[in-house]
Amino acid sequence: MRKEKSFADYKTEGTSWITLASGEYYPDILPQACELYKPVLVLFGQLLRSSHSSADLFMAISEVKEQWMRIQLSRVFRKYVSPETPVEMLKKKSAAQKICKQFGARFRNIVEVQKKFGSRPIPDEALCAVLWEYKDRGKKGYDLTERLFSILREHLVGFTVIGPERAGKDVLLGEVFPGYPKPDRPVDFVIFEGNKVDPKKAVAVGLARYDSDRGGAQEDDRTGQYREVAQEIIRYANKNKLLRLKVIYVNDGPGLLLGSMWADYAYIEEQCKGRIMVVTLRMVPERITGAWLKS
């Protein structure tokens, strides 16, 4: 019998199995970036001039009704006033008072902020380029999942795949499997045999990520989390006699070729042969087969 290839077996030709997402060139992006973010900087300047303190400035930003504008203003605020404040906290309008209380003592003085902001041109090309980097954050991951769903549906006849194909709410395992120990566990897709979403017919739970760059602590965190999630899912499956339920990790991008990433994913797959599979998009038709899912 032909030995089935493992993820580790693809490593020697790894560059042939990863997908490279297209990027944008610098300084080509500057005209578009300046056009997009000039209104943000103009409004930030207006709010800055009318604020008597940095905390007052932040509260004024939190009152901006349009979400996109409020988020961009918060990012500018972070750059000028409070670089240590977590970005995600700045996005939450309801957390404004809490942020001022926790971080306000370390906000840069409003007079200094006004001086620094006034020393830069409008639009500020450097800051617009920084903000542009946020614009398509997550897009590569969305592109990956959209293509993944297309491939799965083309090659897996007789199966149902659920999950957000681009942006959207993750599948929470507690909403799929009764009594799941961590009901808010998010995953990117679940595959069922047949045409119904029936937990007893679930054959695979999957996560998909695009790694454009990865290394060091980030590398360890990602693979460590993957090991824990796989163990959690398989424990639940064994306890509830869902013995066909498997875990699929779809990872792609040049980050796979950095450091020990490929070997780390291969190790995860080896920990439970037949129940865990790691693939890139190009491996999906060859490795994620109906026969494997049913086994």
Q: Is the pLDDT of residue 221 over 70?
A: no
Query: What's residue 205's pLDDT?
Result: 97
Q: Look up residue 115 and give its two tokens.
A: 């001086």
Q: Look up residue 273 and give its two tokens.
A: 């042969």
Domains defined along the chain, listed by start: 30-135 (no CATH), 138-294 (3.40.91)
Edge-to-edge order in the sheet of strand 276-279: 159-162, 189-193, 202-210, 246-252, 276-279
pLDDT (average), residues 143-169: 88
Query: What's residue 138's pLDDT?
Result: 62
Q: Which helix (DSSP H) or strand (DSSP E) does residue 288 occupy?
A: none
Q: What is the pLDDT of residues 71-101, one digit of tens each?
A: 999 999 999 999 988 777 766 777 788 888 8
Confidence of residue 216 (pLDDT cuts 50, 70, 90): very low
- Which among 224, 204, 219, 225 is positioned nearest to 275, based on CA atoms? 204
Q: What is the pLDDT of residues 24-56, one digit of tens each?
A: 889 999 999 999 999 999 999 999 999 999 999
Q: Determine how many CB atoms are found less than 10 A away from the CB of residue 157.
A: 7
pLDDT (average), residues 201-213: 88
Contact 79, 130 (CB under 8 A): yes
pTM given for the model: 0.75
Q: Look up residue 36 and give its two tokens.
A: 């997009």
Between 222 and 111, the higher pLDDT residue: 111
Q: Is the pLDDT of residue 232 over 70?
A: yes
Confidence of residue 213 (pLDDT cuts 50, 70, 90): low
Query: What's residue 207's pLDDT?
Result: 92
87, exposed or middle or buried, with CB in 10 Å at 0-12, 13-18, 19+? exposed
In sequence order, the β-bridge partners of residue 277 are: 248
* Pairing between β-strand 246-252 and β-strand 189-193 as defined by DSSP bridges: unpaired
Q: Is the pLDDT of residue 217 over 50?
A: no
Query: What's residue 96's pLDDT?
Result: 83
pLDDT (average), residues 176-197: 95
Query: What's residue 1's pLDDT?
Result: 43
Q: What is the pLDDT of residues 257-281, one digit of tens each?
A: 887 889 999 999 998 889 999 999 9
- Phi and psi, residue 247, nearest 5°: -120, 130
Query: What's residue 214's pLDDT?
Result: 57
pLDDT (average), residues 132-153: 82
